[in-house]
Amino acid sequence: MFKQKITLLQLLSGLMIASTILIFGSGLAVNYNVTNKEFVSQSLDTNKMYASKLADTADLYLEEMMQLLQFSASKIAQNYTDEKTRQNEIDHLANQVRSFNSLTVLTTDYEVLHTSINNSHLQGSKLQTETAKEAIAAQKPFISTPFETVTNKLGIFLSHPIFHEDGRYLGVVGGTIYLKENNALRTILGAHYYRDGSFVYVIDREGFILYHDDFEKIGSKVTNETIIHRISEYRSGASQITGDDGKRSIAGYASIQKANWGVVSERPYAQVTAPATHVLKRTALSSLPFIVISLLIILLTAKFITKPLRSLATLVEQTSQNTSAEKMKNVNDWYYEAHQMKLSIMKSIGSFQEQVSYYHTKSVVDPLTGLTNRRTMDDLLDRWIEEKSAFVLLIIDLDHFKNVNDTYGHAVGDDVLRYLANMMTELVEGEDEICCRYGGEEFVILFKNKPLPYVIEKAETLRQQLEETDSPTGHPITMSAGIGAFPLHTSAPAELFELVDEALYESKRNGRNRVTVVTEQEQ
Nearest to 507 by CA among 395, 422, 403: 395
CA 345/CA 323 separation, integer angstroms: 14
Amino acid at position 28, single letter? L
Rounded CA-CA distance 312/48 in Å is 70
Determine the 3-state secondary structure of 305 from DSSP. Answer: helix
Angle at 149 between CA 95 and CA 266, to 5 degrees: 85
337 is catalytic: no
Please name the residues in contact with 301: beta carbons below 8 A apart, sequence gap of 6 or more: 16
DSSP calls for 176-214: EEETTSS-HHHHHH-S-S--SS-EEEEE-TT-BEEEESS
Burial class (CB in 10 A: 0-12, 13-18, 19+), 326: exposed
Pairing of strands 515-517, 479-486: parallel
3-state secondary structure of 484: strand
Among residues 317, 441, 460, 468, which one is catalytic? 441
Q: DSSP letters of 373-404? A: -HHHHHHHHHHHHHTT--EEEEEEEETTHHHH
Active-site positions read 441
